[in-house]
Amino acid sequence: MHYKDIVKKISEIMPHDCEVTKVEPEGLSTVIYIRNIRSFYSNERLIKELASALKKKVTIRVDPSALMKVEEAKAAIEALVPKEADVRGIVFVPEMCEVHIEAIKPGLVIGKGGSTLKEIMLRTGWAPITLRAPTMPSSTLDGVRKITVMEAAERKKFLVNIGKKICQPAPSGDWIRVMALGGFREVGRSCLLVQTPHSKVLIDVGVNPATGDPTKAYPYLNLTGFSLSDLDAVVISHGHMDHMGFLPYLFAYGYDGPVYCTPPTRDFMVLLQQDYLNLCKRAFNIDPPYTKKDIYKELRNVITVDYEEVVDITPEIKMTLYNAGHILGSASVHLHIGEGAHNLVYSGDIKFGFTRLFDPSTTRFPRLETLFIESTYGGRNDISINRFDSEKRLTDIIRETMAKRGKVLIPVFAVGRSQEIMLVLEEMARRDPDFNVPLYIDGMVLEASAIHTAYPEYLREQLQRRILSDRSPFESPLIKVAKGASKEEIINGEPAIILAPSGMLSGGPSYEYLKLMADDPKNTLAFVGYQSALSLGSKIQQGMKEVPVLGDDGKMRTLNVNMRVETAEGFSGHSDRAQLMAYIKNLRPIPERIVTMHGDWGKTEELARSAGMMMHKDSRSLADLEAIRLR
């Protein structure tokens, strides 16, 4: 709907005594400023009527001239919110006429049926926004929230500009095409361009974190045929580097548009992208492709979207994010293009099976013609053992190593696998009092775990309840933070388990622990996640016993791998072959076309052949730089 039509429709619906002063499109929302908030709340059906007529999210704000003074408003809020809510911060954002209330128990800030929020707005005029405080300290979350407030004036201008671009008549186009720019017949640097005559949208912009070679690490953005400034939107499926690690590069080289993702994905992007700056120099001895300044630019332009919230990202494309079951906030992306012209689903990384963290990925969509599906374990023989056996296998490896008085190093992705393994070991300790082996977490694992506690609504119900009742498994007495002890002290101390990123030993604390532990046969290296063919982890997993490593003096030396090397399968956040086939079979509606991606050479082809035979549909494996016309 055009902006002028929106203003006209609002003027027809809103009662005169609400005193509307301004209507603005702000990002994905239509903001209506009024002077008389009591008049608005006197009609309970008004907000629903507005949303139904506009088919957009509607936000009501009190005109700045009618807001209570900040000091008085803060006192009023403190009087209204119960002490039990454990409020950690009240921050006013005048540019948005909002007050952000961060609390350990935001439900008590909201009140029954939103009663407390309503009373705050009636008394003060400020629009209250509730934020859940993590149960553990998180510098990343603190930083993201502070920057959002500090950049409020610039962000406001940006959102209004985006809102006006979206609120245009939907153009008619006679073609839709997609182009594979990375992550096709390979794992890493995922990037897909969706293009019509009027819209250009990128889904994911990743790096291959296992290599510093620019020809293999970064997507083929230079071959799109247009400038980055011509992009309309970027959608990020989840917060792993191979899906969002190259995003700041866009902002370094001309892009200034919106980035759509879930709230946890936004936080993980900031955490991991900043770490990648260090990884480039430390592990690959190269200059990173962007700077911290570019990450901050990106953050200002992020627009968060919840699961199953239908939003317009261009005048002709509607987007909906669905649970992918892979990591916190991971999403499958549904795009509705044109007036029903075409519907595609980009699966992202999916887990259609049991994990302790998340519900299985969604398979129900409103409409679906083309499916892009990951194939990490799409090979014919990629059948994982069942979860009970996986956990027994890991615990047996640990017990055997402890019996030798050794240490177990488990390389993990900071986001996802580390929390899954922590839950497994925490439950083992609760069930078996004799299992009192300290579990050291290093690097970004603690920070990532803290972010999990800020978004319990994205977790399995049982885990939600534990976090909300102050029994977070991530704060178990079993877990020790390695930050307070040097790596040498841990290695020379009592038997222990060490969880450390990176998961593929491409750098970070796990790489440093490996150098200290590899020579001792009493120690064990236990892989629990995917190892890219280019990674050091894959080479050791395949049997390499002499590994070239960079010494503290900057010179290469040979590391002898005498420690035991084991793999405990079944903990991956990716679906195995059977789960991928089950996911495809359970899709509703059934897609007309299936395209495989995000899998090593051969696995994407095998999954495409099998899916095509099972579904009797067109199924193919694209390679990087190939394009297909969807309509």
How far are the Cα atoms of 54, 292, 496, 508 from residue 445, in angstroms, in the given order? 43, 21, 17, 11
Residue 596's SS3 state is strand
Does residue 459 sit within a domain?
yes
Q: In whole angstroms, what is the distance from residue 101 CA to residue 133 CA?
A: 9
Phi and psi (nearest 5°) for 120? -60, -45
User: Residue 556: inside a domain, yes or no?
Assistant: yes
CATH number at residue 580: 3.60.15.10
CA distance 92 to 96: 9
Cα 124 from Cα 79, distance rounded (Å): 12
CA angle 597, 602, 604 (to 5 degrees): 20
Residues of the chain with pLDDT under 50: none
pLDDT tens digits, one per residue of 478-536? 899 887 678 999 999 999 999 999 888 888 899 999 999 999 999 999 999 888 777 88
Question: DSSP characters for 88-145?
Answer: EEEEEEGGGTEEEEEES-HHHHH-GGGHHHHHHHHHH--EEEEEEPPSS--HHHHHHH
| 325 burial type by CB count under 10 A (0-12 exposed, 13-18 middle, 19+ buried) | buried
Answer whether residue 322 is part of any domain.
yes
* Cβ-based neighbour number of residue 403 at 10 Å: 10
Q: Does 407 map to a domain?
A: yes
Q: What angle do CA 313, 151, 240 make, to 5 degrees?
A: 55
User: Is the C-alpha dihedral spanning 129, 158, 348, 333 positive or negative?
Assistant: positive
Q: Return the sign of the alpha-carbon dihedral for residues 411, 525, 426, 483.
A: negative
* 120 and 9 together in one domain: no
Do 451 and 495 have their domain in common?
yes
Bridge partners, 550 (sequence order): 556
Q: Which of 614, 576, 610 is nearest to 596 (CA)?
A: 610
**CATH for 16:** 3.30.300.230
The domain that holds 555 is classified in CATH as: 3.40.50.10890
The values of phi and psi at residue 376, to 5°, are: -50, -45
User: What pLDDT shows up at residue 280?
Assistant: 85
In degrees and rounded to multiples of 5, residue 486 shows phi and psi of -75, 155
Q: Are 600 and 625 contained in the same domain?
A: yes
Same domain, 91 and 47: no
Domain C-terminal end among 13, 42, 65 = 65
Domain identity same for 226 and 237: yes
**Residue closest to 328 by CA, chosen among 448, 148, 501, 444:** 448
Query: Does the residue 140 lie in any domain?
Result: no
Identify whether residues 314 and 368 lie together within a single domain: yes
Give the rounded distance of the alpha carbon of 38 from its chain centre: 39
Query: Which of 41, 65, 89 marks a domain boundary?
Result: 65
Do 258 and 312 belong to one domain?
Answer: yes
**282 and 309 co-located in one domain:** yes
Per-residue confidence (pLDDT) for residue 365, from 0 to 100: 98
pLDDT digits (tens, 9 = 90+) for 332-361: 999 999 988 899 999 999 999 999 999 999
Q: Are 295 and 241 in contact (CB under 8 A)?
A: no
Under a CB-based contact definition with an 8 Å cutoff, are residues 93 and 99 in contact? yes
Does 122 share its domain with 251?
Answer: no
The per-residue pLDDT for range 143-163, each reduced to its tens digit, is 999 999 999 999 999 999 999
Instruction: Give yes or no for a contact between 313 and 171, defined as CB atoms under 8 angstroms apart.
Output: no
Q: Are the CB atoms for 135 and 165 separated by under 8 Å? A: no
CATH code of 75's domain: 3.30.300.20
Beta bridge partners of 439: 479, 497
Question: At a CB cut-off of 8 Å and minimum separation 6, what does 266 contact?
Answer: 144, 239, 299, 302, 304
Q: Which domain holds residue 34?
A: 3-65
**Same structural domain, 97 and 199:** no
Task: Measure the CA–CA gap between 398 and 425, rounded to whole angstroms.
Answer: 10
Q: Is residue 143 part of a domain?
A: no
Q: For position 34, what pLDDT does the model report?
A: 97
240: DSSP letter: S
DSSP 286-323: S--SS-HHHHHHHHHTEEE--TT--EEEETTEEEEEEE
Q: Which of these, 81, 188, 177, lies nearest to 128 by C-alpha position?
A: 81
Supply the pLDDT for residue 466. Answer: 92
- When divided into structural domains, the chain yields a total of 4
| 506 inside domain | yes
pLDDT (0 to 100) of residue 484: 65
Cα angle 230, 321, 180; round to 5: 45
- Residue 211: the pLDDT is 83
The residue from 523, 539, 567 where one domain ends is 567
| 287 and 324 assigned to the same domain | yes
- CB neighbourhood size of 339 (10 A): 8
Whether residues 41 and 90 fall in one domain: no
pTM of the model: 0.93
